[in-house]
Structure 1
Amino acid sequence: MPQVPRMSVVTTSSIVAVAVGLAIRGRLDAALTAMHRPGDVAGGFGAVASPSGLWSPSPVREVVRAWRDWNADRLSAGLAGHFVGPYSAVIAYAVVDLLLVTLPVVAALWWAAGRTAKRMAARSDPGTAMDPGRAEALRRIAELARRFAVGYLAVRAVIAVLVPLAARYSDAVPVVSTIGFLTLVGEIALFFAVMPLVFAELATAQREDRRQTRERIWVWLRYLTALRAQVATALLIAGVVIALQGDIGLQVDDVAMRWLEYWPALVFAVVVAAFASWLLLLSGEVCWYRHLRPRPPARPFSFRRLIAIGVVGIGLIATGFVVSNVLHYSVGDFVVWPGIALLLFAVLSLPQEIQRLHAAPPPAGEAPAAEPTPTTPPGSPPLLLWVVASVPLAALGLIAARAATTLAVSQEVRATVLVGVAAAALVAVVMAIAYRVPSLPGRLGAAAGLWLAAAVTAVAVAIEATWPVPAGQLIGAVAVLYLFASALVLVLTGLTLLGELWTPTGAVALLGLRRVPVLTFFAVWFLITSMLNTTDHYHDVRLGPPLPASAAPVSVQAAVDEWLGRHPSTATGTGGRQQVPMLFVSASGGGIRAAYWTAMVLNCLFSPNPVQQECAGDPLDQSTVFAESGISGGSLGLVTDRVLAGTGRRYGEVLDDDLVSPDAAALAFRDMPASWLRLEPSGIDRAAVLEQAWERAAGSLRTGLFADARDGSGRLRFPLLLLNGATVDDGCRLNGSVLATAAGIGGPSPVPGTEDCRSLTQFDPGRSDPGSTSDPSALVGSKDLYDYLCGPDSTDRHDIALSTAALLSARFPYISPTGALNGCQEPQRRTYDIDGGLLESSGVSSLTEIWTRIAGDIQAINDNPTGTVCIQPRLLMIDNGYVQSAPGSAPGQPQELLAPIQGQSLVTDVRSARAEHAAALAFDHAFGRLGCPGTPTATSRVAHLLPVARPGPRAPLGWSLSKFARNDLEEQLNSPANRCQIALVRSWFHPVPTARTGFCLTGFAARATGPNQTGPPTLARFTGSFADHVGVAGVRLDVDGCTPAPQITCSVTTDASGRFTLLLTPGQFSTLTARWGTAAQTIPIPSSPTFVDTSVNLIATGRPAPR
């Protein structure tokens, strides 16, 4: 093997360093953005090192101040060993940016400028085509680029020093303005380092250069043509692993963190990634040498042969249509496109002039190559092949580097394992590219190696396709991805080699092609077959046993009557009336994050033996919950809590499993082949596999939705489950529950298509029956799952497993397929379910609509002077969206061209927020008069539990949670804000807190609005109205004589809104001390507190001395 210049190692290392640096920078910037108090401003390194600091320093100073305030809270709360501080994160960002991004970029610019200068110096000789004076001028311009590149490096180095200093010591205007000025200078320097090189290239683009450019383009097209199978596979891997951002991108990182708790997945990921890289290299070598071989001579098709081809094409088309449309088997669609292609080729090739056409000869200069030998390096594959082959290992290294950075932010020492994985993978990439490592040693046959690799891959694919749940969980999601890439490159390589066997003739040669486009033919075949809009049953929703007549759904009114008839009394009020909370629970969508969070919250509130010690106390009576409404992963959390109730099992035993790997395996090795072949076996698609993975963890999820809705005596089982999906065909809500909520239409049956959930046909004159006693409590734009539980061409209804019903609510686009359901009243009518979060992801809108329909009945009960029961409606919203609780900047003037698009995007984004706001208004304001007579007003009728963004690992939107993500959710539940919300829920059931339950002391520190106050700081107790006041952040409250315990918070700092929240035990402590700068105030703790005590508030004056 010829020696490779050392510069190849340097160049390759530089490119890899930039990729790694950008990945690490992104995770560090995300961590810095999360370092702020709730409600405070948020910003990363780029928000500080921004040119805007020059003309608008205040926002930049606020970001730095928010970092410091968060850091002060971190230190005072004893979390110094849990998270790195902003100063450390800023230093890490600056070092990574300078060494791994800026320095390689500057080195590349320096090298490019030197290369251009040398080229211009060579052209300054009088004998060249370029004018010597012009060449010398261009050489000087290229040299100028070097100076600007060095200036850019110097400016970034100064910024790397100043930003940490600002974060640690001073955010004064001069410092911030200097950083902004240097950032602007650096961007200008980078611009002027790049543009001279571009200018020099454009200025030298004379005729001979254009010819060279065309030759280079031709060479690259030749490379891409020969290696098209490998390039396509590498682009797929890069797109899946690198390009995915947001919650989906976090799922990829979280899968890597899961390696630290399940090491076989790490081993399989490394092994299969290395195998995929080797297979890309091996197959690329085979394709390259086959591509360079001489084309076989063209063999024109005779007239008879073309007629035979046309007849075969007609036969395939006819067979396909008969099988598909007469026999109703979708597999017939599979043969239609080949028939069309054959018929088209035969018809277009019939003219004699076209029959005699054959492919053009290869261009002069393309010499056929034999198999590689050490003495024929010019025929060896291009460097592009090694770059493409290194993509799997490079992607593995980037995944590990991103995950290690996130873990390092939370000071997890096991991040070093991922650092080692990343380093090993990326070093292998550099060595493979720089030294062009051969695929096989010596003269081993590449074809034999390819057959061996194909056999190994086929066996692995068969195992994954047959047993996707255990096999997928064994090797992990990353290994599944690389196994799919290996299978894909083998298939594409086979098709590429097949196209190299024939020389185009006839109509194909008319297109000027030199090879038969087999790969293009199969790609079009796959797309057309997959997109044919014919009815097939592969993605039909799994149905269970037949439903008995007694399992028919009930009206909302009937359900309310039954709940009122047998609810227990959980609290005693004044006047002898029993106060009974009527609780409604909503669980928002968010994949496994939502499922875990929902199940954890319900376990904390209602389990007699909660998992977390902080939740210990008197469990609440879950039978007082009237309905639980879920969307997407929230639905899975609800059904998980339902089936585990009373079993002693914990939710983690079900939801800790890796659920994304079986789904990925079924998508890759079942659904994609079946989509092409149009096979229709039911109950084996990736949706069914995901349901089976859930059932494997909890067998009770196989219980039918309607069977579970009633107990052994046929009575309804409360709470009622409302699992909300959506339908693609009409955009309606699909109500998966025992409640009948679809609007009924009176009179004659309307014309099909005019009676859907959006229709107002039911309100047409004459359709209402004055004597009808039907229940009017339909939900808006909804249809009932009960009406779509029949098999194909059948009117017999079947039950549906809880797992299947939950997934109907959680079919996230592309992750799960749409689920086909057959109508029972009209068997030919089908509807197609998708994730309910596409309508709104809070899950609360169903409860709001139910509440507005029963509020009058509840009010009549509470207003009855002779009644003995008083119903207290309450709403618990379980949200999981990691709210970035930072205020937005003042809105600016929108661009008129983009305003409609921006407005539409915002309207879509705030659907869930609007639904939650509407629910809060309905329960806490519009129907606030429904409180029980003679009882004090509740602190709030609405509780809202949610995690907030913070540095380190966090639960992604997906179907797999690492231990680190699960720990984050558990810690978030025990935050003072969420613990206070839990205390609020307890107050709905019990009048007085106890030592077992504890209580929440929450209030505000505020100051009067107006001009900035001066003078020494003071604090005092405040009992007035907070009108014309603003919150004061940074007031420290310490409980005197307090020792931290699971249910006790001894010290807290007010957030950006001025709020503080302390968790205490009644009667254990008597005073707390508030401090703000040099001001201090001792305040008595209420001796007889309520569950959520809001009697302590503070007023601040003056201004503390700057730190």
Structure 2
Amino acid sequence: MATPLAEPGPQLPLRELMATTAVVVCFVVMGELDRLIGGIAVGQFQPSMAGANALRCWGPDWPADDPLAVLHGAVIADVDLLAWRLILTYALIDCVAAVAYAFLLHQLLTRSRVSVPDPPFAVLLAPIPWVAVAAGVLDGLENLAIAVSARIGPEHWPGAVAVALTLLKWLFVARAALPLAYALGSRDVRPAVGRWLHALWAQGFSLLAVLPVAVLSLVPAPGVFDQLPDVQRTWLEFWSVGQLHAVVAMVVLATLAWGLFVLGRLVTSDAMARLDGSAAPRERVPLWLWLIGPAVVGAAVAASLVAGGHPRWVAFVVFAAIPLAVAASSWWLRPRRSLQQPPPRAAGPVEEMWLVGDLLALLPLSVGAVGLIRSYTSVVALQGFGFAAVASVCAAGGALAAWRLIPHLVAVSPTTLVDPQAGPALGPRAGEESAGLRLLKFAWGALAVSVVVLAVVAVWPGQAAEVAGVLGAFMVAWGAIVVLGGSLVVINARYKPPEIFWTRAFRLREVPVAGLLVAVLFAGATLGGAEVHPLRGSGATGAATVGWSEAAVEWRDRIGRAQAADEEVCRFTDGAGAVLRPLIMVAAEGGGIRAAYWTAATMAAISRASGCGLDAVAVASGVSGGSVGLSVLRVSDADAAVDGVARMGGASALGQASIGLLVRDPLYAAAGVPVGATAEAPWRDRAALMEDAWVASVPALGGDFYAPPTGALSAPLVLNSADAVSGCRVLVTQLDVSSEVESTCTGSGPTLPASRPIADYLSSSTDEDRPRDVYLDGLSVATAAMASARFPYVTPSGVVGPCGDAPRAQLIDGGYIAGSDLGTLIDLAPHLLDTVSLPDDVVPIVVYLHNEVDELLTGQPAEISELAVPPVGWLNANTSLSTTSAWLQRAAALSETVGWPNPTHVFVVAPDKEPAIAPPLGWQLSSVSRQSMDDSITDAEAQCGLDEEPREGVYRGLAALLTALGCAAR
């Protein structure tokens, strides 16, 4: 029998964990600072402190492309010395990181007991603790030398010192890491590694619960992974619901941590009971337990029938049949004495399981605090001391202090639950039946609470999202699922698994609760199709599409009315001083709510600058978030559209989508329960919930997509979607493009390749006598925009059809075909220009609304090694003709295509290249992210009339466009 653990049990290595947390915090902050530093333009190069800290080889442009020279150029270019402050702050934080990782390396090398081979390998593999200290000291000195070099110039002594220190630092880091890498593969350490992996597997349910929090908080990638930081930035908005959302998220996170702590200690107690022989034989499982799930889901199905919903009977039958089959087959096998339960699993490494369970319980708290620091770093760096700085300091303290919370968690928990040496195991323990019964009652209570919470958020997703916010809604739903799974683990551990799991087909020692939950979620994400994720009709009749001639006449009438009002206002002044009449074609890039806001805000600026407002726009094409912004402009005034999109970027849409993703959609897809569906309101998946939230923010979005425009933008819209099945481009448009496409979308159409109009799926456009056909009874503006903005996994594909010759399609984000949307505009523009037939004083203008900062060139391209030529060459060549630059070149050649006398002018309207908070690629947008885009527009308006000649290869931007449209004269 093994020796009992010493009181009070194994303790987490607090100093090492705090040092590791400090390293993570430092690198997270440094990553955010480096993104801000990279926002300062230095010719064709991008400054980077991380690049200056790395081993670097000078290229053909050295010393111009040396990271130290580029950093110095950033300091010179920034008259406000923000770059210098960012660089200095980065260097000082890197010094703290150097101290922390040097301490960790020193501790590991000091404790290393691995035998090393004889010389000469001992010179490289013998652990030498002082090497780690030397690496940290060199790293700190290197950072200071880089900062001084960036301030006074690398041609002075700091540049050479920085290069020498960089090389020495990496040599010492490599020398400290080599013994550790050797130790991991040595026979002395492999058993210990195996024990820790075994412990991690035993605590796998806690690991599964922690992973989403860790990924959302720590992944430093831009775009989608900037969504959580921006959600947390809304907590800074005073006199708003942001503070309520913060409190809810923190309470749920703390509750999750406590639940994982209890579960981890119970798993350890179970292993300890098996180790010391105190585990009593488990009873046969009451098979009625397996009937509870079908009964609860059956009650939900009955409730939906009473409300007027339509359950998916096949899904319900399959879902219910699995536990019923387990119970029935086990009941049939139970009398067979020859059937033997598989031997119980080994006790496992108790000490490691104890520590891993405690570690995974505290990890969400520490990681959540680090995520908050990541969210607020850019705000503090740009805005200085304020509430964000106070919150960041508190979060840093919380990230470190979280590792000291074990005694406090023990104090607020019943001893029988969290003391493996005194409390009950998951399974029964000899002589402790009353404690075991208390644990069982606790598990049943937690199970009931989790089911109630899931039911509440599923039935009232809008209210849940409003109260809890995006992160709170996600954590409530995910936490309830984790509690449900943990409760099932505790309940099932009290009994032997059903007899069906004893057979040769399974040979399971325990009920695979985690596997079954993952299977249900996976089934919910993959099953359903047209029943679960249909494209919603609006109830309108038909599609009032307009032809090219009619669109040209409408544009001519709008221009004519503006000219009649003021002959000198509706104009475009080219570089030669000629005054022309503008025919504007807009392409709005995708990018979630960021793209929607940028589209609305920049179009509002164009409306303010031009005498004819947005009447000069002849056609507007969009994708994803760009489509959403254009749709709001069609039903709202320009300034009202900006405010409307800002409201759409609140917590409701994304919060409801999170609940739909985790609860509602899996429940309908896997179990057939249409939560919230009634006779008057059919089933709504998570995409439909987002549409409802958008309509609540901008009620006009609920109107008919084909109705006459009521907002600032009267031009026909072309919203780009894509069919995931065929790869076909689906055009959601008021234009009649039926003569330009080929109905089977084979790529052999007359002029628009691989395209199909959404009108093919409307009830008025095809034969309704075919019984297999499924028609759309019109489209609302919100549904039309969502058809272009379905970016899995936040929103699912929208299933439509089949209708006549148009097969069933799964509509997804149009950005899968082309994120810029310039391709569709260039395909359509010749049709419009051929039809207009106006005098020589009309000038075509392409406006590309690009919501990301223009990418800078990174110097001359380096030579590719022959080994990498095939894959790199294939990637570069395969995408070179579909890049944004290639499409912009085609846009500039539009006039030549149709024989117009005036050349097409191309403008790329993008945010300024400067240090700014990066708006996320998502569906919630904070006020600070909106402000960074607003500042770019304000700067462009302030530069009106001061347009300069563009640099070679760079298209003119918003300031030049506003100047040409006459803002200087107004």
Under TM normalisation by the shorter chain, which class is it?
0.7 to 0.9
Q: Distance between the aligned counterparts of 2:27 and 2:780, measured in 1?
A: 46
Change in CA separation of 1:424 and 1:458 when aligned onto 2, cut-off 3 Å: farther
Q: Counterpart in 2 of 1:85?
A: 82
TM-aligned CA distance change 1:331 to 1:896, over 3 Å: farther
TM-score by length of 2: 0.81
| CA offsets 1:921-957 (integer angstroms, 9 cap, x no match) | 23355457333xxxxxx7x622221114432312111
Aligned-partner SS, 2:666: helix
| Residues 202 and 486 of structure 1, relative CA distance in 2, 3 Å threshold | closer
Instruction: Note if 1:685 corresponds to 2:685.
Output: yes
Residue 532 of structure 2: aligned partner: 538
Partners of 1:626 and 1:720 within 8 A in 2: yes
Deviation at 1:357, TM superposition (A): 2.8
Per mean C-alpha deviation after superposition, the further-off stretch among 894-903 and 490-499 is: 894-903
Cα deviation for residue 824 of structure 1 reads 3.4
CA apart distance, 1:500: 1.9
Q: Secondary structure at the match of 1:162?
A: helix
Deviation at 1:159, TM superposition (A): 0.3
Q: How does 1:31-430 map to 2 (within 5 A)?
A: 31-37=36-42, 39-52=43-56, 58=62, 62-75=66-79, 80=80, 85-99=82-96, 101-116=97-112, 144-172=127-155, 175-199=158-182, 205=187, 209=188, 213-214=190-191, 217-218=194-195, 220-222=197-199, 224-225=201-202, 227-243=203-219, 245-261=221-237, 262-290=242-270, 294=279, 296=281, 330-336=312-318, 355-361=338-344, 363=346, 382-414=354-386, 415-430=388-403
Give the 3-state SS of the residue equivalent to 1:497 in structure 2: helix
| Partners of 1:582 and 1:624 within 8 A in 2 | yes
SS in 2 for 1:930: coil
Q: Can you list the C-alpha shifts for 1:853-891, whole angstroms capped at 9, x where unaligned? A: 243344x5437xxxxxx5433222211122233444323
Secondary structure in 1 aligned to 2:342?
A: coil
Residue type at the aligned position of 2:403: V
SS of 1:440's partner is: coil
Contact 2:64 2:70 in 1 (8 A): no
Match of 2:489 in 1: 496
Q: What SS class does the counterpart of residue 538 from structure 1 fall into?
A: coil
**Pairing partner for 1:872 from 843, 850, 860:** 843
Cα 1:483–1:342 shift into 2, 3 Å: closer
Aligned runs of 1:266-665 on 2, under 5 Å?
Answer: 266-290=246-270, 294=279, 296=281, 330-336=312-318, 355-361=338-344, 363=346, 382-414=354-386, 415-432=388-405, 437=410, 440=413, 442=415, 457-504=450-497, 505=499, 508=502, 510=504, 512-524=507-519, 526-528=521-523, 530-532=525-527, 535-548=529-542, 551-564=543-556, 567-568=559-560, 570=563, 571=567, 580-607=581-608, 619-645=611-637, 650-651=642-643, 654-655=647-648, 657-658=650-651, 659-665=653-659
In structure 2, the CA distance between the partners of 1:922 and 1:329, relative to structure 1 (3 Å rule), is: farther
- 1-side partners of 2:916 and 2:176: how far apart? 37
| Superimposed CA distance per residue, residues 802-835 of structure 1 (whole angstroms, 9 cap, x where no aligned partner) | 11111111111211110111243269x4211100
How has the CA–CA distance of structure 1 residues 25 and 461 changed in structure 2, closer, same or farther, with 3 Å as cutoff? same
Aligned to 1:669: 663
Equivalent position amino acid for 2:481 in 1: L
**Matched residue of 2:535: which SS?**
coil
SS of equivalent residue, structure 1 residue 626: strand
- Give the secondary-structure state (helix, strand or coil) at the position aligned to 1:929: coil
Q: Name the residue aligned to 2:3.
A: none
Distance, in Å, in 2 between the alignment partners of 1:337 and 1:585 is: 49
CA pair 403-1000 structure 1, distance change in 2 beyond 3 A = same
- How far has the Cα of 1:635 moved from its partner? 1.0
Distance across 1 between alignment mates of 2:343 and 2:883: 61
Distance 2:813 2:703 in 1: 22
Which stretch shifts more, 839-848 or 2-11? Answer: 2-11
CA distance in 1, matches of 2:141, 2:870: 39
Deviations 1:460-496 (A, max 9, x none): 4444323323431332222223223311211221332
Match of 2:420 in 1: none
> Residues 846, 249 of structure 1: CA spacing in aligned structure 2 closer, same or farther, 3 A cutoff?
same
Shift of 1:564: 4.2
Maintained 8 Å contact 1:286/1:446: no
- Mapped to 2, the partners of 1:12 and 1:789 lie a distance apart of 60
* Cα RMSD, aligned residues only: 4.5
Aligned residue type for 1:115: R
The aligned residue for residue 792 of structure 2 is 813
The alpha-carbon deviation at position 94 of structure 1 amounts to 2.1
**Pairing partner for 1:968 from 932, 939, 942:** 932
C-alpha distance after superposition, 1:72-127 (max 9, x if no partner): 4432xxxx3xxx6232222222222221x32222222222222235x87xxxxxxx
Aligned amino acid, residue 233 of structure 2? M
**3-state SS in 2 of match to 1:841:** coil
Choose which of 13, 22, 29 in structure 1 pairs with 2:27: 22
Amino acid aligned to 1:240: L
Distance in 2, matches of 1:366 and 1:796, equals 59
What secondary structure does 1:719 align onto?
coil
Q: Could you tell me how far 1:545 is from its partner in structure 2?
A: 1.6
Q: Which residue of 1 aligns with 2:431?
A: none
The question of whether the paired residues in 1 share the 8 Å contact of 2:72 and 2:149 is answered with no
Contact 2:535 2:783 in 1 (8 A): yes
Whether the 8 Å contact between 1:457 and 1:487 is mirrored in structure 2 is: yes
Aligned partners of 1:908 and 1:455: how far apart in 2? Answer: 54
**What is the match of residue 914 of structure 2?**
950
Whole-angstrom CA distance in 2 between matches of 1:431 and 1:4 = 15
Distance 1:183 1:679, change over 3 A: same
Counterpart AA for 1:74: D
Higher mean C-alpha displacement, 811-820 vs 795-804? 795-804
- Give the C-alpha shift of residue 48 in structure 1: 1.6
1:769 equivalent in structure 2: none
604 and 296 in structure 1: CA distance in 2 versus 1, 3 angstrom threshold: same
Which residue of structure 2 aligns with residue 718 of structure 1? 714
Q: Distance in 2 between matches of 1:923 and 1:745?
A: 20
- DSSP 3-state at the match of 1:259: helix
Identical amino acids, percent of aligned pairs = 22
Deviations along 1:329-349, one digit per CA (max 9) or x if unpaired, are 744135447757987996999
For residue 231 of structure 1, give the secondary structure of its aligned residue in structure 2. Answer: helix
**Structure with a larger share of its residues in helix:** 2
Return the structure number with greater strand share: 1
Q: What is the letter of the counterpart of residue 107 of structure 2? A: W
Letter in 1 for 2:759: Y
CA shift digits 1:225-282 (9 cap, x unpaired): 2x22211111222123323622112221111111100322222222221122112212
Contact 1:68 1:86 in 2 (8 A): no
Q: Are the equivalent residues in 2 in contact too, given 1:50–1:180 (CA < 8 A)? A: no
Shift of 1:362: 5.0
Alpha-carbon distance between aligned partners in 1 of 2:760 and 2:710, rounded to the nearest angstrom:
19
Give yes or no for the alignment of 1:862 onto 2:839: yes
For 2:317 and 2:185, how far apart are their aligned partners in 1?
Answer: 52
Tell me the alpha carbon deviations over residues 534-577 of structure 1, each in whole angstroms, 9 at most, x when there is no partner. Answer: 644121112112315xx442332443345446751624799xx9
Aligned counterparts of 2:869 and 2:453: Cα–Cα separation in 1? 49
TM-score norm. by structure 1 comes to 0.72
